Amino acid sequence: MSQLSLSWLGLGPEVAFPWKTLLLLGASWILARILIQIYAAYRNYRHLHGFPQPPKRNWLMGHVGMVTPTEQGLKELTRLVGTYPQGFLMWIGPMVPVITLCHSDIVRSILNASAAVALKDVIFYSILKPWLGDGLLVSAGDKWSRHRRMLTPAFHFNILKPYVKIFNDSTNIMHAKWQRLISDGSARLDMFEHVSLMTLDSLQKCVFSFDSNCQEKSSEYIAAILELSALVAKRHQQPLMFMDLLYNLTPDGMRFRKACNVVHEFTDAVIRERHRTLPDQGLDDFLKSKAKSKTLDFIDVLLLSKDEDGKELSDEDIRAEADTFMFEGHDTTASGLSWILYNLARHPEYQERCRQEVQELLRGREPEEIEWDDLAQLPFLTMCIKESLRLHPPVTVISRCCTQDILLPDGRTIPKGIICLISIFGIHHNPSVWPDPEVYDPFRFDPENIKDSSPLAFIPFSAGPRNCIGQTFAMSEMKVALALTLLRFRLLPDDKEPRRQPELILRAEGGLWLRVEPLSAGAH
């Protein structure tokens, strides 16, 4: 047998041995990598075998298309939760496993894991990065931890208290528009359209101290945010468009970049202007000096924030967090409030009880405004809000991809690197967590009834280290807007039942339409 010759490379026998060694080492390395991958696949399969899975469509598609972002898809998810109440395994094609968890007892391990271990799934969140940068929603690791610590003071009640005045004002503007639209005693309105503009109006005032009057006239900045939200929701349903190179060549990609530029230019201009006007003093002194004359907005707090080493946020970081707050704050609150109005329209007995609670609270008060201290004096209205957030959670699912194995309370293991979906909708609609889960019953949240429940049975704002930092802000805004709405209007269901549409947030196909009737002056 002829020996290996490297003469064609101009190398003689004296150098052939090192080349043989290198080739052997290379082949050994490749073989080792293959064996490691085989072992990892076997190990994952062994762990995944403990999770039940519904029948696949076929071997190639796996479970793709079984749970669609439609009313029918939510009904299918509800069926799966009833069949597999602890959770289940589904496959994207033949190779990509996805675990869905839908029970409060099971999600504890992953929700309570540190942010460094339970990372957000980068596949989806990466498409938000051109818009939101490294804000809290998208960032991870040390940067996320540092920003979370620095932003926490921005949601202290001393900061939030003056915002209640803004919530009142923005709600009043929306109601004035409703009054103008009423003819023949009522108006048929899309709650999402009106409430989204109201939340954007109040957010722009709370974040930037800027009044664009967006509820009354068009605003380029507000239009850009609405377009970005719609484009992200659309892209989320098109896996091929997750590739930036391909997406950037499409008309949607071009519109996305243009809208990003509009939003970034607005935020940058506010930051530059604030740098010139914000006094060079500490947060406490600034709060004291401005308490009577100015609401401390989100940009102010970000500019004044310092970490434990005395370092400030960069302008790029400030822009990312401001843009993130505008994105997260308007859609989720609009969804939550719209579905609350819908549920009370369908249950006039609860609507009337809430109305009486508000009327009693504000009796003899002029003007009729909700104040910060009032928010704790509306127990039944709060129960109605929470039950609606259970039945119609604005965010239906969150995703995680862990950097290490996660041991579940029942002994099963989620292997590292596996995409895990925490189905908020599934937990909230799980009959083994909530009896009769499809029934709207505010008394579930009576303090006596809820005291023995798992804190993870109700997670509209997620839970654990990466829970929603703005949940007190959102709940306060919803309470103010709902209280004033019930004080002035009667809500009636539309003739056509809405079909739920879970996109980035829970919407309704074609809008969520209700009829509103003004209450006579003597009625309250």
> For residue range 49-58, what is the model confidence (pLDDT) as tens digits?
889 999 988 8
The answer, yes or no, to whether residue 1 has pLDDT greater than 50, is no
Pairing of strands 96-101, 419-423: parallel
Would you call the peptide bond into 367 cis, given omega within 30 degrees of 0 as the criterion?
yes
pLDDT, residue 364, reads 87
Residue 39 pLDDT class (50, 70, 90 cuts): low
| Closest among 464, 515, 463, 524 to 488, alpha carbons compared | 524
pLDDT reading at 240 higher than 80: yes
CATH number of 71-523: 1.10.630.10
CA distance 313 to 302: 7
Binding residues for heme: 328, 468
Assign 35 a pLDDT band (cuts: 50, 70, 90): low
Higher per-residue confidence, 41 vs 506: 506
Instruction: Determine the average pLDDT of the residues in 469-492.
Output: 97
- Give residue 365's pLDDT band: very low, low, confident or very high (50, 70, 90): confident
Q: Which of 73-87, 113-127, 212-226 has the lowest mean pLDDT?
A: 113-127
Pairing of strands 406-407, 489-493: unpaired
Q: What percent of the chain has pLDDT over 70?
A: 90
Q: What's the rounded Cα separation, in Å, for the pair 486 and 370?
A: 12
pLDDT at 142: 86
pLDDT digits (tens, 9 = 90+) for 295-310: 678 998 888 888 888 8
Average pLDDT rounded to a whole number, residues 20-35: 77
Return mean pLDDT, the chain: 89
- 470 three-state secondary structure: coil
* pLDDT tens digits, one per residue of 367-415: 889 999 999 999 999 999 999 999 999 999 999 988 888 999 989 999 9
Q: For residue 524, what are its two tokens?
A: 């309250």
Residue 4, pLDDT above cutoff 60: no
In this prediction, residue 368 carries a pLDDT of 86
This prediction's pTM: 0.89
Do you know the residue count of the chain? 524
pLDDT of residue 110: 92
d(CA 83, CA 88) in angstroms, rounded, equals: 9
Annotated binding site: 328, 468
Indicate whether 319 pLDDT > 90. yes
Condensed to tens digits (0 to 9), the pLDDT of residues 252-272 reads: 999 999 999 999 999 999 998
| Mean pLDDT value across residues 283-293 | 58
**381 within 8 A of 483, measured Cβ to Cβ:** yes
| Closest to 151 in 3D by CA, of 283, 335, 294, 331 | 283
User: pLDDT band at 281, cuts 50/70/90?
Assistant: low
- Which residue has better confidence, 134 or 293? 134
Is pLDDT above 80 for 279?
no
Please tell me the distance from the alpha carbon of residue 242 to that of residue 61, in angstroms, as a whole number: 19
- In this prediction, residue 522 carries a pLDDT of 45
What is the predicted pLDDT for the residue at 390? 99
Percentage of the chain beyond pLDDT 90 is 62
CA distance 309 to 131: 29
